[in-house]
Amino acid sequence: MSTATLAAFAAQDSAPARVPATTLPEETFAVPPPEAGRVYLVSHEPMVPLGARAIQLPILMYHYVRTPPSIRVDRLGYRLSVSPAVFQSQMDWLFTHGYHPVNFNQVRAYFAGTSPLPSRPVVITLDDGYQDLYTTALPILQTHHFTAVAYIVSGFINQPGYATSDEVVQLDRAGIEIGSHTVSHPDLAHVSFASAMFQVVESKRVLEGMLGHPVLDFAYPSGRYDAETIQAVEKAGYDTAVTTSGYPQLHTSQNRYTWSRVRVTGGEQLPDFIIGLGPSMNTVNTTRLSLESTPFSLQQQT
């Protein structure tokens, strides 16, 4: 998008904010009954890649990987912080129990029908682009050669407590997929459409200029979105967007702008972490998924 177009979005930023819709509920998917005379196979092995298949794919959501502050002093900071030791234990558990972290490029390939996913796939996401993403989380992920997705707030890069531009580039080169988390982390459901467009377009432009390749994945700040927010994200050229809602964990290409995530919070015990992963089967393959109940008709990209 041209500089003139971006300026136009910014110029409209003072327009009255639209009245946002209530945060949209996650989709409820209806699985039709089996067809008479048809044989259905259930397998826990990687599936033949079919873009219309639903996959059981937990997407984990982290923020800080640091020693949590006192809950009495900073309750929010405490909840958003997972200690390095706990993060390491969670990654160790995933490794020893046969989980395979994947990124959204791999998920795209699965839905496009060009590559299967491994058994027990899981996506590890880290929001905001704090400096401990580079200094602490990355080395722990590398102990098991895990990939992850980092959602970066472009306007916070090089600010105190956040990753530098060089560190973001190094994360990308280390195999961490970089996604956008807007320019300044506003609630996109409570700003004008022009402002939302500026946030999603400008952050994409900055990150792509830094990395030298497309940035296709987006995370809604605070998980807030409405129909116009989704429209802005799709129009800006993103291919996926994630929320902060924990369920459902069944994902398809058609609902890729509202994929849910599981929060991993400070003080969480390992049994809680395990429960958050949901069922261990990696695909739902008894029938093709009926998407008639989905509130948006989004064209699948191949």
Which CATH number do you get for residue 169? 3.20.20.370
pLDDT digits (tens, 9 = 90+) for 47-101: 434 555 788 899 999 999 999 999 999 999 999 999 999 999 999 999 999 999 9
SS3 (DSSP) at 283: strand
Domain assignment present for residue 74? The answer is yes
The mean per-residue pLDDT over the stretch 22-43 comes to 38
Average pLDDT, the chain: 81
The pair of structure tokens assigned to 258 is 């509202």
Please choose, from the candidates 204, 254, 246, 243, the residue with its C-alpha nearest in 3D space to the C-alpha of residue 221. Answer: 243
Could you tell me if 278 and 249 are in contact, meaning their C-beta atoms sit under 8 angstroms apart? Answer: yes
Domain assignment present for residue 27? The answer is no
Total of domains in the chain:
1
Burial 231-241 (b: 16+ CB within 10 A, else e): ebbbebebbbb
Containing domain of residue 102, as a range?
Answer: 37-284
Domain assignment present for residue 257? The answer is yes
Domain assignment present for residue 291? The answer is no
Separation of alpha carbons 92 and 69, rounded Å? 24
The mean per-residue pLDDT over the stretch 247-258 comes to 86
Determine what percent of the chain is predicted with pLDDT higher than 70: 75
Domain assignment present for residue 301? The answer is no
SS3 (DSSP) at 228: helix
Higher-pLDDT residue of 283, 147: 147
Domain assignment present for residue 156? The answer is yes
pLDDT of residue 52: 56
pLDDT of 3 strictly over 70: no
pLDDT of 302 strictly over 80: no
pLDDT of 181 strictly over 80: yes
What is the maximum alpha-carbon separation in the chain?
63
Domain assignment present for residue 12? The answer is no
pLDDT of residue 28: 31
Domain assignment present for residue 234? The answer is yes
Please choose, from the candidates 63, 94, 119, 117, the residue with its C-alpha nearest in 3D space to the C-alpha of residue 264. Answer: 63
pLDDT of residue 4: 52
pLDDT of 132 strictly over 90: yes
pLDDT of residue 182: 98
pLDDT of residue 158: 98
Residue-wise DSSP of 167-180:
HHHHHHHTTPEEEE
